[in-house]
Amino acid sequence: MVQLHGLPDIVARVLAARGVTVDNAQAYLTPRLRDLMPDPSVLADMDRAAARIAEAVMRGEKVAVFGDYDVDGACSAALLGSYLARTDTPFIVRIPDRIVDGYGPNVSAIRELHAAGCKLLVTVDCGVASYEPLAEARKLGMDAVVLDHHQAAAELPEAIAIVNPNRQDDLSGLGHLCAAGVVFMTLVAVQRELRKCGFWHGAGKSTQKEPDLLSDLDLVGLATVADVVPLQGLNRAFVQQGLSIMRQRRRPGLTALIDVSGLSGPPEAWHLGFLLGPRINAGGRIGDSALGATLLMTNDPVNAARIASELNSLNAERQAVERLAVEEATAMAELALLESEPAVFVVASPDWHPGVVGLVAARLKERFNRPAFAFALDEAGGGTGSGRSIPGVDVGRAVRRAVEEGIAVKGGGHAMAAGVTLGPNGIAAFRERLSTLLAEDVDRSSIGEALGVDAALTAGGATPELVTSITRAGPYGSGNPEPVFAFGNHLLTDATIVGANHVRIRLRAGDGTSVGGMVFRAADQPLGQALLGMKGQAVHAAGTLTLDTWGGRTQVSLRLLDVCRADPMRQTMR
């Protein structure tokens, strides 16, 4: 790769470690939609879905867009809503309240949308398991189109079309797409239908020109990263081109959100998951669930700034609520470990807010490296919960099995994350069944548990030029992990608790050069405790590198992932 493509050695090493070959290296580094996106018609039911949505646009029918309350749902709803607005099609965006409505469409909401005059219902990031609500829509005379990506049962609900690359009879090979990716491909197909009908050339009622769908890739890229789908193939093109558009600050909502989050430089892929995504999610967790979609659709910078500020405040409130719940859940998990070695943690409390249980599960998964479910209990001992998993353990499939067996009332998801509702006193039975279903996969996953390292560096080698060069192999995320570098036999000159439970560190090499970094949410975790105890000692450390810009100065920062004491016989730096 170095010889044929003129790549820096470190970039070639990163690519080779990810299975990229000499022949496809150039295409991998410059992913393009024209090369990677197939004809939308390869998706089952796509032609029917596109035709029905285009028909609604041509007739000026009122469309109900029903989304989910997470980032993928907000982006999906904003994509479709913005497109309908540009075609002068009347529409309503409905995002359910997490506590009052629960996940997905419900019969009451369907009746309200019908009463509001909606002729077509389009569900985005939900709907593939909504049998009763979609049956109600049909009974009322509303056509339904489902645009989803969650795992589906063999028997599908009643609808004009169900576009979902993860339905069992879909042969598109696009199961790695998030819902926003599915919606984007649907809009490409809809635009093609409208073009055939001459809609943009006088046959329709639109007063606007044909939309530039590529300008909406900022939303697709954001959803792709935030929903933690694999950054491979088409998804890499979505994120790379989405970031390019986001950096142009065209969308008032995202621009306001970037500013309120304190991001000082151009957004990178990890910013979408760690800075922007949590703020959009905050509305659905503890506030107004529609705030995220509203922010992403608004064209008014003043309104965008107001909503972004509100989401930022809700996110701070969410962090406080989450912190208390995580402390209690961690104690429950540690107690469970004293009694046995559970394959999956299932923790629950009547005091937890339903909006933070997914985050609680994620924190347990990160700390103990095994699947975890957290539930907010109701008065009857049932409740709503969320699960997070580790590579190789499919919690979405396990939840579907629990629903089929009557252990759970409803639920679904995908391999790495799932949502579930339990009936009265259902926690014990769910815990027992999930442990049985997942035990073998968890054992198999733990055998290969290790931290992969791409290359060894010294502090002096961690330069801005190096970090800039390795970004060429990005974007990084699920399925394309950030390069990990090992720093052997460095002196840990600083390990200090800062901010909200973070640990600031600094490593010094034998030649006197140093690199600083941060370990987030780690002060009370094993890694943070180890660092605090090793201050002043020689260590081997490993982590990823990023660029931080502050006060006009750019420097390299190490996001540390692991550490151990160096061989005492070789601690010569003292």
Average pLDDT for 530-537? 95
pLDDT of residue 510: 93
- Taking only the tens place, the pLDDT of each residue in 42-60 is 999 999 999 999 999 999 9
Decide: pTM greater than 0.75.
yes
Are 127 and 104 in contact by the 8 Å Cβ rule? The answer is yes
> Residue 473: how many CB atoms within 10 A of its CB?
24
pLDDT of residue 169: 96
Going by pLDDT thresholds of 50, 70 and 90, the confidence category of residue 572 is: very low
DSSP E strands, 271-407: 345-349, 372-377, 383-388
- CB-count exposure of residue 210 (10 Å: 0-12, 13-18, 19+): middle
How far is it, in rounded angstroms, from Cα 160 to Cα 154? 17
How far is it, in rounded angstroms, from Cα 253 to Cα 259? 10
Q: Among 1-10, 160-169, 311-320, 561-570, which stretch is predicted with the lowest mean pLDDT?
A: 561-570
pLDDT of residue 226: 94
- Taking only the tens place, the pLDDT of each residue in 267-302 is 999 899 999 999 999 998 888 999 999 999 999 999
Closest by CA position to 364, among listed 329, 314, 411: 329
How far is it, in rounded angstroms, from Cα 398 to Cα 372? 12
Instruction: Indicate whether 209 pLDDT > 90.
Output: no
DSSP E strands, 452-531: 455-457, 485-498, 502-508, 514-519
How far is it, in rounded angstroms, from Cα 363 to Cα 366? 5
Q: For the chain, what's the residue count?
A: 574
CA 409, chain centre distance (Å): 25
Average pLDDT for 354-362? 94
The two counts, helices (H) then strands (E), for the chain are 21, 16
- Taking only the tens place, the pLDDT of each residue in 124-175 is 999 999 999 999 999 999 999 999 999 998 999 999 999 999 999 999 999 9
Average pLDDT for 417-426? 93
pLDDT of residue 207: 59
Are 420 and 401 in contact by the 8 Å Cβ rule? The answer is no
- Taking only the tens place, the pLDDT of each residue in 451-477 is 889 999 999 999 999 999 898 888 998
CA triple 407-398-328, angle to 5 deg = 75
Q: Which residues contact 385 (CB under 8 A, 6 or more apart)?
A: 348, 357, 361, 373, 374, 375, 376, 419, 420, 421, 422
What does the DSSP assignment read for 90-144?
-EEEE---TTTT-SS--HHHHHHHHHTT--EEEEES--TT-HHHHHHHHHHT-EE
Average pLDDT for 368-392? 93
Q: Which two tokens stand for residue 17?
A: 């470690």
Q: Read off the DSSP letter of residue 80.
A: H
pLDDT of residue 571: 44
- CB-count exposure of residue 318 (10 Å: 0-12, 13-18, 19+): buried
- Taking only the tens place, the pLDDT of each residue in 64-82 is 999 999 999 999 999 999 9
Q: Which two tokens stand for residue 92?
A: 């309503």
Q: Which residues contact 450 (CB under 8 A, 6 or more apart)?
A: none
3-state secondary structure at position 488:
strand
pLDDT of residue 286: 85
Beta bridge partners of 348: 375
pLDDT of residue 208: 66
